[in-house]
Structure 1
Amino acid sequence: MRIGIIGAGVMGSSIVKRLLEKGVARADEVFVSDIDFGKLEKLWKETGARTFRDNSLVAKEAEVLIICVKPQQMAEALASLKHSITPNHLVISIAAGVRIGAIERGLKEGTRVIRAMPNQACLIGLSATAFSLGRNATEEDRSKAEMIFSSFGRAFLVKEEMLDAVTGLSGSGPAYAYAVIDAMAEGGVEAGLPRETAIALAAQTLLGAATMVLETNRSPDELAKLVATPGGTTEAGMRVLEEGGFRNLLVRAVVRATERSKEISSLFIEM
């Protein structure tokens, strides 16, 4: 698969590395553009991918284009690609808040578009990536997208109207998890643990709990009840969380982040 990456920032560079590591494409099949020569040179040295300063040159080489620029840079990126797009191209955008309709309007009529929302764990191959198909995207496009997204985590096909909720949950979710790890570690320190040990224990505990949910097919509530022996330590700790409104705070955080995603999306309806 010949894949072009528009934008060699943190996400774009991480995607290149995962595509190569997982064998989705060879180095001579990956083409990257960016205005920052330093980023391109670094990525070329690390991966061997072909690099360009001109987005249109990447479009001429690739069949799949993944746009990895900031939302405010999308209009310029689309304009630079528009005249190089052919019916053979599939365009994938990971720009937060920029809807499929706006992307389609910025390119040639009939362009096949997919919009995706990965998260920070893309950097280590553990992203939760939700994606939606544009009106011209095909089943073959869906299969290509799933192959690409699976190279850096798990892929979930959703309706586009759900992507704001995805942003509020899994897009912003790593920050919520870091806050939980930090708070748990702080409790460990207050209880007498060295900070480094407390952080490692908290992080490994969340990793283990997440893996239990994914691999046992049991609900989080069911698994929590298996840990919380009546009258035991876990029950005592859980009671404190309930009294402090822990669950409700996380629900509110996801809902508010979703609302903010909708607000941001409204700014990019027309570009």
Structure 2
Amino acid sequence: MNDKLQHPKLTFFGAGSMAEALLRGITAAELLPPSNIVVMNRQNAERLQELQQKYKIMPASTDTDKSNALRSADIILLSMKPKDAAVAIRSLKPLLHPDQLLVSVIAGLSIDTIHQLLGNAQPVVRTMPNTSSTIGLGATGISFSEAVNENQRAFAIAMFEAVGLTSVVEEPMIEAVNGVSGSGPAYIYYVMEAMIQAGVELGLTPEVATQLTAQTVKGAAEMVISTGENPGELRRKVTSPNGTTQAALETLDRFAFQEAINKAIHRCAERAREMGDAIRAEAL
């Protein structure tokens, strides 16, 4: 990797929770010195000051500072809200030079739509991380446009590996990543809510029900990771014939639990495509 991409200038266009998760990971892993990182948003100067105090990065609050940060960046990370994406990306068009790398964490936003908004085939990395990135346990799908070179590709992967696991996928699979892991933590939290509520109904205190549920979910995930076994096989191993677990699983089947999860993931992926279509419509 050349010196420029060992220590590139990185500008965050958007300063929300995912941007902060990546900031935390990048600075903790010492991928970049904080002086090489600039953060900007539309108008929340207090948020920029907060991030400056926590991570020692450089805020860009004025229009001049923002333009300079975008022009001089080697990498621009797009982390604005989907509804703001089309306008924001169009505003980049007169500021970019051909070898600047754009990295998107915006749900539904395709590489092709970014190219349409810019009017050129800028190097683009499209990603779908999840909120567990905020504690370094994220799961991110990542794909690349043809113009992304090997050094850019390596640095982009390193950024997301700083906040968890990264899987390289073909871009059409990013919506599937969104359905499975992008929104996945919410499904698990929903199941946990139900487990805690049932525990309380059966007489446990909320504190004990929460502790037992959280440890159970953590342990089950670690079993899959550490053993390498299929979750279905692990489930079968703990399901004794005519036992308590079988009775519980039969009840879940009666209420079409597995089908509901499957349909939820498909709907999530479909909604990501709908959001992308809305952004694309603004690009046309």
Alignment match, 1:121: 132
Match of 1:48 in 2: 56
Any conservation in 2 of the 1:110–1:136 contact (CA below 8 Å)? yes
- TM-score by length of structure 1 reads 0.94
- SS at structure 2 position matched to 1:86: coil
Contact 1:59 1:85 in 2 (8 A): yes
Q: Which residue of 2 aligns with 1:79?
A: 90
Name the structure 1 match of 2:20. Answer: 13
Residue 200 of structure 1 corresponds to: 211
User: Partners of 1:93 and 1:162 in 2: how far apart?
Assistant: 15
Distance (Å, rounded) in 2 between the aligned partners of 1:58 and 1:17: 20
1:127 and 1:154 in contact (8 A); partners too: yes
TM-superposition CA deviations, 1:6-41 (whole Å, max 9, x none):
111121122111210121112112111112101101
Contact kept in structure 2, 1:43 and 1:49, CA below 8 Å? yes
Secondary structure of 2:126's aligned partner: strand
Which range moved further: 78-87 or 98-107? 78-87
- Aligned with residue 226 of structure 2, among 215, 235, 248: 215
The residue identity in structure 1 corresponding to 2:141 is A
Query: What is residue 29 of structure 1 aligned with on the other side?
Result: 36
- Runs of 5+ consecutive residues of structure 1 not aligned to the other structure: none
SS in 1 for 2:15: coil
Identical pairs, percent = 34
Q: Deviations over 1:204-248 (max 9, x none)?
A: 211111121122110000111121122322222212112221111
Say if 1:31 and 1:61, in contact at 8 Å, map to a contact too.
no
Contact kept, 8 Å, 1:99 with 1:268, in 2: the verdict is no
Structure 2 alignment gaps of length 5 or more:
1-6
The letter of the residue matching 2:185 is: P
Report if aligned partners of 1:7, 1:67 keep a CA contact under 8 Å in 2.
yes
Bigger Cα displacement from structure 2, 58-67 vs 175-184: 58-67
Contact 2:108 2:276 in 1 (8 A): yes
1:235 is aligned to 2:235: no
Are the equivalent residues in 2 in contact too, given 1:85–1:107 (CA < 8 A)?
A: no
Of 97, 107, 115, which residue of structure 2 is paired with 1:96? 107
In structure 1, what is the Cα distance between the partners aligned to 2:69 and 2:215? Answer: 41
Q: Tell me how large the CA RMSD over aligned residues is.
A: 1.5
Residue 10 of structure 2 contacts residue 76 of structure 2 at CA under 8 Å; is this kept in 1?
yes
Rounded Cα–Cα distance in structure 1 between residues aligned with 2:252 and 2:157: 38
For structure 1, which segment, 102-111 or 117-126, has the greater mean C-alpha deviation from structure 2 after superposition?
Answer: 102-111
**Aligned mates of 1:139, 1:220 — CA distance in 2:** 35
Classify the secondary structure of the residue corresponding to 1:230: coil
State the 1:108 CA deviation.
5.8
Check whether the contact 1:85–1:108 (CA below 8 A) recurs between aligned residues. no
Distance change in 2, residues 1:71/1:177 (3 Å): same
